[in-house]
Amino acid sequence: MKIIGLGIAGLGRIGKIHFKNVDTFCENAKVVALSNLSVSNIDWINSNKKTINIYKRFDQMVNDKDVDAVIISSPTPFHSEQIKIALDAGKAIFCEKPIDLSLEKVIQVNELVNKSRIPFMVGYNRRYDPNILKIKKDLESGVIGTMQILKITSRDPFPPDIDYMKKSGGLFLDMSIHDFDMACYLSQQNVKKVYSTGSVFGNKEIKEIGDIDTAVTTITFENGSIATIDNSRKANYGYDQRVEVFGSLGMSISQNQLSNNNIIANNKGIHYSKPLGFFLERYSQSYISIMNEFINCLIKKKEISCGIKAGLDSLKIALAAKKSLNENRVVDFDEIK
Amino acid sequence: MKIIGLGIAGLGRIGKIHFKNVDTFCENAKVVALSNLSVSNIDWINSNKKTINIYKRFDQMVNDKDVDAVIISSPTPFHSEQIKIALDAGKAIFCEKPIDLSLEKVIQVNELVNKSRIPFMVGYNRRYDPNILKIKKDLESGVIGTMQILKITSRDPFPPDIDYMKKSGGLFLDMSIHDFDMACYLSQQNVKKVYSTGSVFGNKEIKEIGDIDTAVTTITFENGSIATIDNSRKANYGYDQRVEVFGSLGMSISQNQLSNNNIIANNKGIHYSKPLGFFLERYSQSYISIMNEFINCLIKKKEISCGIKAGLDSLKIALAAKKSLNENRVVDFDEIK
Amino acid sequence: MKIIGLGIAGLGRIGKIHFKNVDTFCENAKVVALSNLSVSNIDWINSNKKTINIYKRFDQMVNDKDVDAVIISSPTPFHSEQIKIALDAGKAIFCEKPIDLSLEKVIQVNELVNKSRIPFMVGYNRRYDPNILKIKKDLESGVIGTMQILKITSRDPFPPDIDYMKKSGGLFLDMSIHDFDMACYLSQQNVKKVYSTGSVFGNKEIKEIGDIDTAVTTITFENGSIATIDNSRKANYGYDQRVEVFGSLGMSISQNQLSNNNIIANNKGIHYSKPLGFFLERYSQSYISIMNEFINCLIKKKEISCGIKAGLDSLKIALAAKKSLNENRVVDFDEIK
Amino acid sequence: MKIIGLGIAGLGRIGKIHFKNVDTFCENAKVVALSNLSVSNIDWINSNKKTINIYKRFDQMVNDKDVDAVIISSPTPFHSEQIKIALDAGKAIFCEKPIDLSLEKVIQVNELVNKSRIPFMVGYNRRYDPNILKIKKDLESGVIGTMQILKITSRDPFPPDIDYMKKSGGLFLDMSIHDFDMACYLSQQNVKKVYSTGSVFGNKEIKEIGDIDTAVTTITFENGSIATIDNSRKANYGYDQRVEVFGSLGMSISQNQLSNNNIIANNKGIHYSKPLGFFLERYSQSYISIMNEFINCLIKKKEISCGIKAGLDSLKIALAAKKSLNENRVVDFDEIK
């Protein structure tokens, strides 16, 4: 069995996860090269992983003959350029989301990727969460019939740094975009129109940078099915990640995963633990699974289902949601181009 | 302790429930008169409840000196006229919802009721469901902080008769209106804007009469809090009635009440029962409680919280939802007048 | 349809419940006579229920020609004598549990009842709890196969008065006896042997009167199936009533009924309410159902399943448990006679 | 930080798990040597893990100077001899359970281990399951007060091979022994007496070899607290592993871990998945944690809490349970010596 050689651009929080996961859980792949590292990362690699080539620049790494595919986990503004370089070198690409905040750039990348026919995956890891895969299976097997209503609740335990939010594009682009991709993935329908309403509760800084911390988005799909997505930057009880699909024959629900399965009963009531941690913990399995799926598609030359279109569609919904909120009106999906 | 004498107009499905509940569960009230009865109901009363006066017409009953208050559970088109008659006679009024399908008429009734200062209650029984009262208590005690998002799932086990739907005003007016009232009751906020989207799935008849069977409505309140309400005429797994309030300090949820508390575990999985019946069963306690609250307010001369304004506001939201769906746009609550 | 005339002996806590339930929920029965009342009860009856005959003594009431059946809810020491009087008068009998604390007397009553062929029911109301009826149904329908292990958890929210416990016969006779009847009812097997172990935790008074507050009893049935019953006088989290049947094809569980179906999520965790109240609340439906079953058997001349044998068997298990604890050994059921 | 060199005796099912876990999840340890391997295991090691020394015999491996500690995962009959060899060589020992089926041998090993003061751990991995650790924490923090009743439900999804059962010592020695250790671990009390009752349901082969497939064991501890343990060789709905501690201030429960957190609702009811797999899956985390705890104790020279006494006590309870069943009587713990 061939072993896929991987080059990773950027070892930030997510880059490190992919690095560790490939090392521990991907039998058929190996990290052979790294680029765009911080000084401390370089030191760590040099003293622990002597066999990995370190490159200063992405274009150097891409041309390492042992690199079969690249993982782009650099900051978002570098993504589109690095994608182009990797495409030129003919290397398969796994790119973290979002591909870019600019629709124009993502449309461009979309064309290049499609033309190139080079394998491309965007890192919507939540699609590979076991709970979500179960819902997908329930939809495909027909046990819940035709999807009519999709409800996604996605609330973070606390907001990100204000500096992050200033550059992230706002709640719809840095947070809801995961849920928008989920809506597309589960419905397998084209979006017809988008409506968003939102507010800021009590966080002055968020208001000052023009962002919101609470939002409800309604997506109507072409076949009439409806997704309603509610987001909050701060759920006091922890990370709230629930998905519910209501279909003509039944309902499939992914509940929150709690920190533990224990119960305490006392004179105040019956108590369960809070939901599990934050995204790195909650979706730890999905990061492993998406990487294995990427490797697997490369080895077996299977088509990648979570491709460039997923990156484009989710961005378009996020931009439509933003437009809807700003202009206080329903936005036709066709308007976003 | 004074016993309140009640006259009931109409002994249809809901009228009968009030009759039985007063008889069995309201210590301080007694049904002394009835009007607008069918022949079979008259026969039944004559052979079982000889001490109750039967009147052909509502105006006759209202003037029975033993009648302190009336319960109007006649068909909706009779409501506004009967309210006027009762107001003229100075009798307290409990009127089933909706007060009327015509906004003009309800506005008129609103003015008359307010001018008269006669006690008036509208039959939004679900406010008195123990689960809903618990959420209300959680909101008032401050344990969940300020409400930011309200989620109501309200799905019937099967659609009503097509003949009923033809005259009912449609899904928003015969079904969602309960949820719209719930949203007002729990938020205690003025509505700012309403957006609805909806579809018909598979029921040709519903489509032909111009109604929908699936809808999501988003209400934005003046303080920025948001309610999202999803409705379906037919949930294959039974009557789905859930309410979730997400606040700044926590979340309060009213889950579905199941048919029983039992579990079966077998080689297919772990199985719970379906949700309990339909509204008469699910909300049986709330019908008792609302009637006791009405009686109690009369006896103790307390203000009735579920008054004419509740009837007016819920109708206005329903009409806004209908307009939003028809015109595919966000509707300002001020437009509805 | 014939209406059964009932005479109730004693209007203590349980007597009152039967009185109210017959009045409100039993269409085919009517309380026509009462005996052995306190002064305050006599006053209340005289001013509210003028049509009911009040007798000083039980033998007087039994001979009222309108009395078809008696409900014996007097203190336990009176039960056996009153049963004999009612049998002599040929009146059907509903007797509260326990029939008597003396095995000799219950054996005697058993013989008299069997000889007389007069309808007799013992008040093991929990058999008629909807959750227990569901388990029974699961056993009878075969969906869980042959019962192998039965687990009953039965813990009170707080201990009874010390004066009550002094005369009650102790934990096995006043509390576990319900669970022992449940074990017989669900297993439909003859008992082979009984083992009990128990302790007192922290309640000095209970220790002083020679009782225990914590016990585990294991019953082995003739077919090899096993029941394990754990009891406590005081569960800090409330009334704990759970039953679990493990069978060859699956498991059927009756969970605790909680005070409400609501959930609060906050920064401490996810919180459900405590179990519902105490036995009067938790088993309120079962008191209604057992009385309707009694009436129904009389009207339809059906055999009563919860008859004198149930009273005898449960007492014998309780005495075996007591003997096992005292003598620190396994007790053969045959020893109890 | 020192890296602990490990030698593993035997690469059967459990040996392989320890091997993989040390490789993947134990930062401070490394497998440096193996002994007692099958031919296929030797081939696999030679082609994949060239740097590991392979020894034919355990005594050879023990004397490898890079081996700091041994993991004894050979068949049970070899344990006691290998322990002695390792003790003689002064190497720390992790030994799989049971240490031996012979009480005499385990008493001997106990003495040698205690005399030697060499670190020794017995592989009761379930103590390190996150759910069990949570219960332990609840007991230690005092939130549930003094333990009064401990309920353990432990049922396998299907029985082991008949050949395994013939040599395993029977249900109490190969299966319940885990639960007996759990009872000791959670109660931290000395055992006073043991009672077991058991049966065979429908499996003729199990009956023929003199074993049972269903058992309930009651352990009374010296302070009066009681453990009730129910076991079955075959739960149709899957691997059932529940622990419940009832204390003076509350109750702490470890529920079953299900295969997934999803729910399906349809016209048959509301469905959850079956419990997760079997012990290798259900307790996968505990195998990692116990090994890390072993390593950690060696590095930090901490005392090992799950030591030789745990192996001795659990065996003694199992033998007491067997005696109780065979002789149909309560067995004092002191009798077992």
Residues A289-298: tens digit of each pLDDT: 999 999 999 9
Rounded Cα gap, residues D132 and D254, in angstroms: 7
Q: Closest Cα to residue C10, out of C89, C92, C94, C109?
A: C94
List CB contacts (< 8 A) between B157 and chain A: none
Residues above pLDDT 70, as percent of chain A: 100
Cβ A262–D254 below 8 Å, yes or no? yes
Q: Does D137 touch chain A (CB under 8 A)?
A: no
The pLDDT of residue B44:
84
Q: Does D1 touch chain B (CB under 8 A)?
A: no
Rounded Cα gap, residues C198 and C322, in angstroms: 10
Neighbour-count burial of B63, counting CB atoms closer than 10 A to its CB (0-12 exposed, 13-18 middle, 19+ buried): middle
Cβ D271–B266 below 8 Å, yes or no? no
Q: Quick one: pLDDT band at residue C44, thresholds 50, 70, 90?
A: confident
Q: Quick one: pLDDT band at residue B190, thresholds 50, 70, 90?
A: very high
The pLDDT of residue A1:
66
Residues above pLDDT 90, as percent of chain A: 93
D257 min Cα distance to partner chain A (Å): 7
Specify whether the CB–CB gap between B258 and D270 falls below 8 A.
yes
Rounded Cα gap, residues A235 and A216, in angstroms: 15
The pLDDT of residue C89:
97
Tell me the Cα Rg of chain B: 20
List CB contacts (< 8 A) between C250 and chain D: 236-237
Half-sphere exposure at residue D302, Cβ-oriented, CA atoms within 13 angstroms: 12
List CB contacts (< 8 A) between A256 and chain D: 261
Q: Which of B38-42, B53-57, B226-230, D176-180 has the lowest mean pLDDT?
A: B38-42
Asked if residue B51 has pLDDT above 90, the reply is no
The pLDDT of residue B1:
66
Query: Which residue among A265, A267, A273 sits closest to C269, beta carbon to beta carbon?
Result: A273
Asked if residue B163 has pLDDT above 90, the reply is yes
**Contacts for A168 with CB less than 8 Å, ≥ 6 apart:** A160, A174
Q: Quick one: pLDDT band at residue B50, thresholds 50, 70, 90?
A: confident
List CB contacts (< 8 A) between B271 and chain D: 268-272
Touching chains, A (3+ CB pairs < 8 A): B, C, D
Cβ B251–C260 below 8 Å, yes or no? no
Report the relative pairing of strands A269-272 and A262-266 from DSSP bridges: antiparallel
Q: Does B255 touch chain C (CB under 8 A)?
A: yes
Touching chains, D (3+ CB pairs < 8 A): A, B, C
Which chain D residue shows the shortest CA-CA distance from C327? D330
Mean pLDDT of D283-292: 97
> Rounded to a whole number, what is the distance in angstroms from the first to the last CA of chain D?
43
Query: Which residue among C155, C201, C218 sits closest to D195, beta carbon to beta carbon?
Result: C218
Rounded Cα gap, residues B258 and B244, in angstroms: 17
Beta strands in A89-146 (DSSP E): 92-95, 120-122
Rounded Cα gap, residues C3 and A311, in angstroms: 75
Q: Write down the ipTM of this complex.
A: 0.95
Asked if residue B202 has pLDDT above 90, the reply is no
Query: Which residue among D267, D269, D273 sits closest to B272, beta carbon to beta carbon?
Result: D269
Q: Closest Cα to residue B92, out of B255, B320, B299?
A: B299
The pLDDT of residue C46:
85
List CB contacts (< 8 A) between C153 and chain A: none
Q: Does A285 touch chain B (CB under 8 A)?
A: no
Residues within 8 A of A (CB atoms), C 258-277 only: 258, 265-274
Asked if residue C180 has pLDDT above 90, the reply is yes
The pLDDT of residue A48:
77
Q: Strand A29-35's sheet: what is its strand order?
A: A53-55, A29-35, A4-9, A69-72, A92-95, A120-122
Asked if residue A209 has pLDDT above 70, the reply is yes
* Structure-model confidence comparison of residues D49 and B326, the more confident one: B326
Residue with tokens 């016990």: C215
Question: pLDDT averaged over chain B?
Answer: 96
Q: Does C3 touch chain B (CB under 8 A)?
A: no
Mean pLDDT of C189-197: 98
Asked if residue B47 has pLDDT above 90, the reply is no
**Contacts for B157 with CB less than 8 Å, ≥ 6 apart:** B234, B235, B238, B239, B277, B278
Q: Quick one: pLDDT band at residue B70, thresholds 50, 70, 90?
A: very high
Q: Does B325 touch chain A (CB under 8 A)?
A: no
C256 min Cα distance to partner chain A (Å): 11
What are the backbone dihedrals phi and psi of residue B266, each rounded to the nearest 5 degrees, phi first?
A: -145, -165
Question: pLDDT averaged over chain C?
Answer: 96
Rounded Cα gap, residues A328 and A321, in angstroms: 10
pLDDT tens-digit series, residues D133-148: 999 999 999 999 999 9
Question: pLDDT averaged over chain D?
Answer: 96
Residues above pLDDT 70, as percent of chain D: 100
Rounded Cα gap, residues C71 and C121, in angstroms: 9
Q: Quick one: pLDDT band at residue B45, thresholds 50, 70, 90?
A: confident
CA distance to A84, A247, B162, per residue, from B207 (Å): 50, 18, 11
pLDDT tens-digit series, residues C72-81: 999 999 999 9
**Contacts for D88 with CB less than 8 Å, ≥ 6 apart:** none
Residues within 8 A of A (CB atoms), D 6-45 only: 24
Query: Which residue among C146, C199, C251 sits closest to D224, beta carbon to beta carbon?
Result: C199
B153 min Cα distance to partner chain A (Å): 10
List CB contacts (< 8 A) between D232 and chain B: none
D267 min Cα distance to partner chain B (Å): 4
pLDDT tens-digit series, residues B126-139: 999 999 999 999 99
Which chain B residue shows the shortest CA-CA distance from A274? B250
Q: Quick one: pLDDT band at residue A51, thresholds 50, 70, 90?
A: confident
A332 min Cα distance to partner chain B (Å): 10
Asked if residue B59 has pLDDT above 70, the reply is yes
Collapsing DSSP states into helix, strand and coil, what is residue C54? strand
Rounded Cα gap, residues B330 and D242, in angstroms: 52
Q: Does D103 touch chain C (CB under 8 A)?
A: no
Cβ B248–A328 below 8 Å, yes or no? no
Report the relative pairing of strands B29-35 and B53-55 from DSSP bridges: parallel
Mutation site for B-interface testing, chosen from C1, C248, C264 by largest number of B Cβ within 10 Å? C264
Touching chains, C (3+ CB pairs < 8 A): A, B, D
The pLDDT of residue C1:
66
List CB contacts (< 8 A) between D234 and chain B: none
Question: pLDDT averaged over chain A?
Answer: 96
B174 min Cα distance to partner chain D (Å): 25
pLDDT tens-digit series, residues C106-153: 999 999 999 999 999 999 999 999 999 999 999 999 999 999 999 999
Q: Quick one: pLDDT band at residue D1, thresholds 50, 70, 90?
A: low
pLDDT tens-digit series, residues C239-268: 999 999 999 999 999 999 999 999 999 999
Cβ C266–B144 below 8 Å, yes or no? yes
Mutation site for B-interface testing, chosen from D158, D232, D256, D270 by largest number of B Cβ within 10 Å? D270
Mutation site for D-interface testing, chosen from C148, C239, C325 by largest number of D Cβ within 10 Å? C148
Query: Which residue among D267, D272, D274 sits closest to B237, beta carbon to beta carbon?
Result: D267
The pLDDT of residue A18:
97
**pTM of the entire structure?**
0.95
Residues above pLDDT 90, as percent of chain B: 93
Which chain D residue shows the shortest CA-CA distance from B266? D237
B287 min Cα distance to partner chain C (Å): 17
